[in-house]
Amino acid sequence: MALTLLVLTVIWKTGGFDPAKIPAAQCSWTSIDPGDGIKDVGKPRTNDVVTNGVKTMTVALTQGTVSVKLDPSKAKCTVESFTYLAGKKFFDDTKCHRMLNNSLLQCGDPSGTGSGGPSYRFPDENNPPASVPSADPSADPSAAAGAPVLYPAGTVAMANSGVDTNGSQFFLVFKDIQLPPNYTVFGTIVGGMDVLTKIGADGTKPGADGAASNDGEPKTEVKISSLTVTDVAPQEDPTTAPSASTSAPAASSSASPAPSASSKS
């Protein structure tokens, strides 16, 4: 049966220290037309984007708090966008609308439908490497390029609706999962995995036909009461964003539907 894919953040002033801004390539924010689910809070800056240091994203859910380390050196524009949106309280009082295979929780849509986001899109960064092509000369190289890779538990990445369509939707991986190498990895979960695991254990709501589903809205409502992004004091140990591995999963694992967000144009 064919699977239907759902269209799938302390200013650094501790001790009076400010991080030096390393000049970065311009971040590009492409405007999109207004529509249902689109929340316009303006756009982040394009220049003088910080590309060093470490940030903490604190996600206060109804079930508990999840802490994420963000590394601007790996995904500077993504981190800049989250810092900006968090400052605008964009994520506050929004629903995490999707859970997939009891392995990841998808959030960040102000409409809670899977099709919402900010009034801009931005390019992919730090996507995991694609699988190594087969040595078989008759193999289709395009198949290997899109083959699923392992996103290990603790990964935080962007959901999208295609190449360079990042907005505000993101997913928190709390159990190893295989997905296409199409998603910007921008953080690592460093606290609250137990919160996410408990949400996962509750499962998802049945599908429209009443049948059990492993891809849908969490059975227990999950809402973000607040999401903040703060800089980490320089004496703390930086934790960089993980790269998804091409390692083969356990024999019982299988590729999962892609985390995607509905496209708005």
For the chain, what are the domain ranges? 54-128+146-265
pLDDT value of position 137? 53
pLDDT value of position 112? 94
Mark the ranges of the chain whose per-residue pLDDT is less than 50: 1-24, 134, 141-142, 235, 238, 240-254, 263-265
CA torsion, ordered 108, 114, 120, 126, to nearest 10 deg: 70
Tokens of 35: 């529509």
pLDDT value of position 135? 52
pLDDT value of position 245? 43
Classify each residue of 123-135 as buried b or exposed e, where b means 16 or more C-beta atoms within 10 Å of its C-beta: ebbbbbebbeeee
Q: The pTM is what?
A: 0.79
pLDDT value of position 18? 37
Whole-number Å distance between alpha carbons of 183 and 166: 9
Q: Does CATH number 3.40.640.10 belong to domain 54-128+146-265?
A: no
pLDDT value of position 213? 84
